[in-house]
Structure 1
Amino acid sequence: MPLPKSIITLPAIVFILFFSSCKKDKSNSQSQDREQLVEHQIDSIVNPLIEDTIIAGTVIGIVKKGKIIFLKSYGYADIDKQTPLATTAVFPIASVTKTFTAIATLQLVEKELVALDDTIEQHLDFNTNDKSVTVRQLLNHTSGIKDYTETDIPVQLQEIGYSSDNFLRLLEQKEFDFEPGTAMDYNNSGYYLLALLIEKISGLSYEEYLKKNIFQPIAMQNTGNCYSIAKDSIVGGYTMNEEGNLNPTTLGDLQMAKGAGSLCSTVEDLLKWQIALYHSNELLEKNAYNSMTTANKLRNGAVTNYGLGLEINQHEGNKVFSHNGVIEGFLSDTRYFPESDLTVVTLINTLGKVKPTNISNSIADYFIPKKSITKNFEGNLESLKGIYTGKVMGHPIEMQVIEEKDQLLIQSSKKYPITYVGGNTWIAEDGYTYAFVNDRMQVNAPKMSIILKKQE
């Protein structure tokens, strides 16, 4: 009697198990081969930097589809003692702190304890001199408030004593760089104020709030304010001098950096954080996440390249959500490529020639497709040429748009070509974009968005 179709014979089971095992072994082998290839490729990028003493050391981590697929350290924690850098090394992450501050602020928004369009004077004792500055504008760097790092405020605080109240009184005496919402200029003061906002609303210190609502829920066990961590637990930093030599750097007191750049962390902790942010709702619900990852607009409708605590750019035609940090002796970079579901984190204990962004992008090139973004410009180049002027941080700036051999170029301190990518937008090799609307040119840099006017 023939067997029913739903029954599989023993020989068939043996064959299926054998075939499945072979297929699994082949898949595992291919995976291992790919991991070894990735490591070899990353080694080829980083090892020459170590061998030529361009950087002391770096730790690099990669997440693909929510799983850590690579974590490796290179170089030295101490060059003189030849102490190897460990993957567990604790680094100051500088301005990557801002993304944590943004997440904490958005958590309070989700709890309806503050609204993005609340004015900061509703929550803080800070006189904006009749200018309406919102929480959103602090988050997206469009407040116009003077960046304290560009002033004498740090020196004054050393003289009179550091306190949040002293900081506020000194900052509110400074003139605004521009009317709120009319331009975007990277601003540390805004993120200091956000940390105070978090403290005022939550009743916790900035560090306590982050620990309770971000670090502990996702097991970031080696992350906290740098000034609360024993200094001998933080890896040593180096700075390259004019002769190209690396000199040890003493980490300063980061208490004044607060929500703008006070945190220390490890690559492994940052990978956990990136997984939680981009692959779950452990930290933020969807609406808040969407606000964070959507480029903001200025009052005139011009789109910037910054969301809420995240830079929003492109690399090889692929969208990137990122933030980097720079502090004496240290560089940091976190970047997520949503279309390829890829995260690369790079921490370097050297301030010098190398940018962690370039290392991260070079690594990402092994995983992401290279998309052509150039298009043919059908308009009149003559209409775009001319001299454009405006202000950056209150200082006058001038750029000239010229044409050479049917190629449009920007001339300021140097001359460089720009390529048409569609609509009214052109892009330079460094990622800066230039959008032309009537007699205006909007310049979007990684941490700045300004409008320049064409001169008659």
Structure 2
Amino acid sequence: MSDGESLQEVLTYYRSWLAFRQRFSRVPGVQAAVFADGSVAFSAAYGLADVESAVPLTERHLFRIASHSKTFTATAVLQLVEQGRLRLDDKAEMHVTELVDAPAGKLTLRDLLSHAGGLTRDSDDADFWQLAQPFPDREQLLAMLRSPDAAVIADNERFKYTNIGYGLLGLVIEGATGRSYNDHVRTEIVEKLGLSDLGPELDPARSAEYASGYSSLAYADERVPIDHVDTQALASATGFYGNARDLVTYFSAHLPGDDRLLTDASKRQMQHPLWNVGTDEWPKYGLGLQIAKVGDRELFGHGGGYPGHITRSLVDGKAGIAVSVLTNAIDGPAQQMAEGAFKLLDLAQSKERPEQSADLSRFTGRYAGLWGVTDIVQLGGRLYSMDPSQGDPADKAPTLEVDGDTLRVTEDYGGGSYGQRYQFTFDADGRPESIRSAGGLRMVPIERFALPPRVTAG
């Protein structure tokens, strides 16, 4: 990140934006972290870890990060490839001998890592995702893999996401190392990075540290808590837990030049886009990593969907920035919130930073009126007007220019108030007391805004 001043401006607003989005989205809790310039530059938590007991969410609470587990599994496989103990073109049956006569055993590790093996996603009876039954153990997973229904389509026909395939990769790692999957990845990945709040499976000894997970508002007016359960033989697909701070630190080890886990050559293989995930050009999938475009940035990372927790991590390898957002609701907007950090960075860096004489910070803040909320935000040495209720904080944000105690709209998207002004009234201490928006509506700082019992004329 070349512009440290812009980064700090972005992180200052990102903190405020996330707090608003957590409340506005009616998500119980949001935890987020950003790695930049070689360290964790931002870490915060909003809302509640336990709604029923009114426990505030902290930066240390643990989340089930679900399919983030696939990145750890892929990392472990590539480590073993570097050590000469596995090859990407090995067939699974070479290391899981119970599958010698099964079609799943003929799939290569590369096929499995890239979701190109054509295997069933979760089998025909996947109600373990609704906690109606336990997650499959080793024998049950092998039975699923030996089933005639395991192969849904031919291998390498197209991208086909499969948790069962990643469960098989966990068995491959066990076969190649002689250790349990959980012990191996804990030793070779988590402990190598010195991370204490990251692990491969539910840890009952730390049960009080987990943020409670909650159901959706799609089918009910109230959320209900969802138990945490062991994912057993699918740990390599979905078992991991962690917090945002440790998660971005883990992803920093996937940046170029960092040799703590893998060589750059192996990281390039993981991050190389092999398959289109859908019919559009983006996103794509590599070896255990999703690759997406946000603006002009090509980002790698992964999402995770666990009963009660939705999580997302995105990494810009060129800029050396990693963002993780963890939510404790089954419909949490983690992806939108993670992408928001990069969209704000793009806006802050979209123009050359101007020479500054006026104090821009005296205008910044969150202002409310009957029609909604407006944020006046300082990014890249400029002021912008933003609507935090929109999912993309930087979309169509009008640019504002200081003129005394007013801000003139100098750029907008055409449907705004180009050429008009935000007129500020300041109190004796120089703090904004009220504003007249560019649309002519009076607004006040949000902490002073209150609705009457009924909005009446006059």
Q: Same fold (TM over 0.5)?
A: yes
Deviation per residue, 1:196-220 (Å, 9 max, x gap): 1111111111111111111111111
1:102 partnered with 2:45: no
Give the letter for the 1:168 counterpart: L
1:116 counterpart SS class: coil
Give the letter for the 2:242 counterpart: S
- CA distance in structure 2 between the aligned counterparts of 1:292 and 1:322, rounded to whole angstroms: 10
Deviation per residue, 1:355-380 (Å, 9 max, x gap): 211101111112236999xxxxxxxx
- CA distance in structure 2 between the aligned counterparts of 1:364 and 1:371, rounded to whole angstroms: 10
- CA distance in structure 1 between the aligned counterparts of 2:231 and 2:171, rounded to whole angstroms: 15
Matches of residues 41-120 of structure 1 in structure 2 within 5 Å? 41-52=13-24, 54-120=26-92
Deviation per residue, 1:168-207 (Å, 9 max, x gap): 1233113311111111111101110011111111111111
Give the letter for the 2:113 counterpart: L
> Quick check: 1:316–1:371 contact (8 Å CA) kept in 2?
no
One of 198, 201, 211 as aligned partner of 1:235: 211
Deviation per residue, 1:262-318 (Å, 9 max, x gap): 1111112112211222150110012211110111259xxx99811000011211121
One of 228, 231, 234 as aligned partner of 1:254: 231
CA RMSD of aligned residues (A): 2.9
- CA distance in structure 1 between the aligned counterparts of 2:15 and 2:78, rounded to whole angstroms: 38
2:68 counterpart SS class: helix
1:68 counterpart SS class: strand
Give the letter for the 1:328 counterpart: P
Deviation per residue, 1:35-92 (Å, 9 max, x gap): 3x33442234222333346111111111113221111111111223322111011111
Partner of 1:170: 144
> Quick check: 2:135–2:234 contact (8 Å CA) kept in 1?
no
> Quick check: 2:119–2:160 contact (8 Å CA) kept in 1?
no
Residue 337 of structure 1, CA deviation: 1.5
One of 192, 197, 212 as aligned partner of 2:187: 212
1:360 partnered with 2:338: yes
Residue 327 of structure 1, CA deviation: 1.1
Partner of 2:110: 136
- CA distance in structure 2 between the aligned counterparts of 1:149 and 1:130, rounded to whole angstroms: 13
One of 278, 289, 301 as aligned partner of 1:310: 289
- CA distance in structure 1 between the aligned counterparts of 2:29 and 2:227, rounded to whole angstroms: 16
Residue 33 of structure 1, CA deviation: 8.6
1:62 counterpart SS class: strand
> Quick check: 1:45–1:359 contact (8 Å CA) kept in 2?
no
- CA distance in structure 2 between the aligned counterparts of 1:207 and 1:332, rounded to whole angstroms: 21
Structure 2 segments unaligned to the other structure (5+ residues): 351-458
Partner of 1:407: none
- CA distance in structure 1 between the aligned counterparts of 2:107 and 2:169, rounded to whole angstroms: 12
Give the letter for the 2:103 counterpart: N
1:331 partnered with 2:345: no
The alignment-based identity, stated in percent, is: 24
1:265 partnered with 2:234: no
- CA distance in structure 2 between the aligned counterparts of 1:151 and 1:33, rounded to whole angstroms: 50
Relative to the length of structure 2, the TM-score reads 0.67
Count of residue correspondences: 337
> Quick check: 2:137–2:232 contact (8 Å CA) kept in 1?
no
1:227 counterpart SS class: coil
- CA distance in structure 2 between the aligned counterparts of 1:46 and 1:130, rounded to whole angstroms: 43
- CA distance in structure 2 between the aligned counterparts of 1:305 and 1:122, rounded to whole angstroms: 29
- CA distance in structure 1 between the aligned counterparts of 2:328 and 2:104, rounded to whole angstroms: 43
- CA distance in structure 1 between the aligned counterparts of 2:337 and 2:146, rounded to whole angstroms: 39
1:347 counterpart SS class: strand
CA gap 1:79/1:166 in 2 versus in 1, 3 angstroms? closer
CA gap 1:51/1:132 in 2 versus in 1, 3 angstroms? closer
Partner of 2:252: 275
CA gap 1:51/1:284 in 2 versus in 1, 3 angstroms? same
Residue 229 of structure 1, CA deviation: 3.7
> Quick check: 2:185–2:200 contact (8 Å CA) kept in 1?
no
CA gap 1:224/1:250 in 2 versus in 1, 3 angstroms? same
Partner of 1:428: none
Partner of 1:290: 268
1:344 partnered with 2:316: no
- CA distance in structure 2 between the aligned counterparts of 1:82 and 1:219, rounded to whole angstroms: 32
- CA distance in structure 1 between the aligned counterparts of 2:292 and 2:265, rounded to whole angstroms: 21
Give the letter for the 2:308 counterpart: G
- CA distance in structure 1 between the aligned counterparts of 2:220 and 2:117, rounded to whole angstroms: 40
> Quick check: 1:148–1:154 contact (8 Å CA) kept in 2?
no
> Quick check: 1:90–1:235 contact (8 Å CA) kept in 2?
yes
Structure 1 segments unaligned to the other structure (5+ residues): 1-29, 373-456
> Quick check: 1:62–1:343 contact (8 Å CA) kept in 2?
yes
